[in-house]
Chains A and B, each alone.
Chain A
Amino acid sequence: MRVLVVEDDPLVGDGIRRALNGGGFAADLVSSAEAAKSALDTEAFDLVIADIGLPRQDGLQFVRSLRNRGQIVPVLILTARDGLQDRVTALDLGADDYLTKPFQVPELLARCRALIRRANSVASARISFGDLELDTTRKSVTAGGKALELSQREWAILECLILNAGHIVSKNKLVSAIADWSEDLTLNAVEVYVSRLRAKLGTAAVISTVRGMGYRIDEPRS
Chain B
Amino acid sequence: MNAPSIRKRLLAWLLLPAVLILTAGTLSDYFTALPPYRDAYDQALFDAALAVSAHVRTDAQGHRTLSLPPDAIAILRYDSYDSIFFKVTTDSGEYIAGDRDLPQLTEESNNPARGFIQYHGESVRLVTYRTKGANGVLDVSVAETLHKRDHTRRRILGTSLAVDICQLGLVLALIWIGVRLALGPLRTVELQIASRSARDLTPLPRESVPTEIEGLVTALNRLFVTVRATSDAQRRFLESAAHQLRTPLTGLQVQLELLTGDPAAAPVRERLAPLLEATQRLTHTTQQLLALARSDEAANLRWEFIQLELSEIVESTVADRISAALGAGIDMGADTEPGTIQGVRWLLVEALSNLVNNSIAHTPAGGTITVRCGADFLEVSDNGVGIPVDEREQVLGRFFRGSNARGAGSGLGLAIVAEVAQLHGAAVSIDAGPDGTGTTVRMTFQLNR
CA–CA, A106 to B257, complex, Å? 10
Q: By DSSP majority rule, is chain A's interface helix, strand, loop, or mixed?
A: mixed
The answer to whether A213 touches B254, judged by C-beta atoms less than 8 angstroms apart, is no
Per-residue interface assignment for chain B, residues 235 to 268, with 1 indicating a CB less than 8 Å from any chain A CB and 0 otherwise = 0000000010011111111110110010000000
A58 contacts across to B, CB distance below 8 A: none
Selecting from A8-16, A112-120, A134-142, A192-200, the interface stretch reads A8-16
Query: Is B272 interfacial (CB 8 A cutoff)?
Result: no
Residue of B nearest to A15 (CB): B254
Contact of A82 among B257, B290, B320, B322 (CB under 8 A): B290
Per-residue interface assignment for chain B, residues 3 to 23, with 1 indicating a CB less than 8 Å from any chain A CB and 0 otherwise = 000000000000000000000
Selecting from B51-59, B332-340, B437-445, the interface stretch reads B332-340
Query: Is A2 interfacial (CB 8 A cutoff)?
Result: no
Q: Whole-angstrom distance from the CB of A43 to the nearest CB of chain B?
A: 24
Contact of A211 among B255, B258, B287, B333 (CB under 8 A): B333
The answer to whether B346 touches A210, judged by C-beta atoms less than 8 angstroms apart, is no
Q: Whole-angstrom distance from the CB of A187 to the nearest CB of chain B?
A: 15
A212 contacts across to B, CB distance below 8 A: 318, 333-336, 370
Per-residue interface assignment for chain A, residues 101 to 128, with 1 indicating a CB less than 8 Å from any chain B CB and 0 otherwise = 1111111000000000000000000000
Q: Range of interface residues on chain A?
A: 20 to 34
B280 contacts across to A, CB distance below 8 A: 102
B323 contacts across to A, CB distance below 8 A: 104, 106-107
Q: Which residues, 347 to 395 on B, are CB-close (under 8 Å) to A?
A: 350, 370
Per-residue interface assignment for chain B, residues 269 to 309, with 1 indicating a CB less than 8 Å from any chain A CB and 0 otherwise = 00000000000100100010011001000000000000000
CA–CA, A29 to B335, complex, Å? 42
A209 contacts across to B, CB distance below 8 A: 331, 333
B149 contacts across to A, CB distance below 8 A: none
The answer to whether A81 touches B350, judged by C-beta atoms less than 8 angstroms apart, is yes
Residue of A nearest to B353 (CB): A81
The answer to whether B254 touches A12, judged by C-beta atoms less than 8 angstroms apart, is yes
The answer to whether B248 touches A102, judged by C-beta atoms less than 8 angstroms apart, is no
Query: Is A1 interfacial (CB 8 A cutoff)?
Result: no
Residue of A nearest to B346 (CB): A84
21 intermolecular pairs with C-beta atoms under 8 Å apart: A9-B247, A9-B248, A11-B252, A12-B247, A15-B253, A15-B257, A18-B254, A18-B255, A18-B258, A82-B346, A82-B350, A101-B246, A102-B250, A102-B283, A105-B254, A107-B323, A168-B315, A209-B333, A210-B332, A213-B315, A216-B326
A interface residue numbers (CB < 8 A to B): 9-12, 14-16, 18-19, 22, 53, 80-82, 84, 100-107, 167-168, 208-213, 216, 218
Question: What 7 A-B pairs come out closest when comparing CB atoms?
Answer: A211-B333, A11-B251, A15-B254, A212-B334, A12-B251, A102-B250, A84-B346
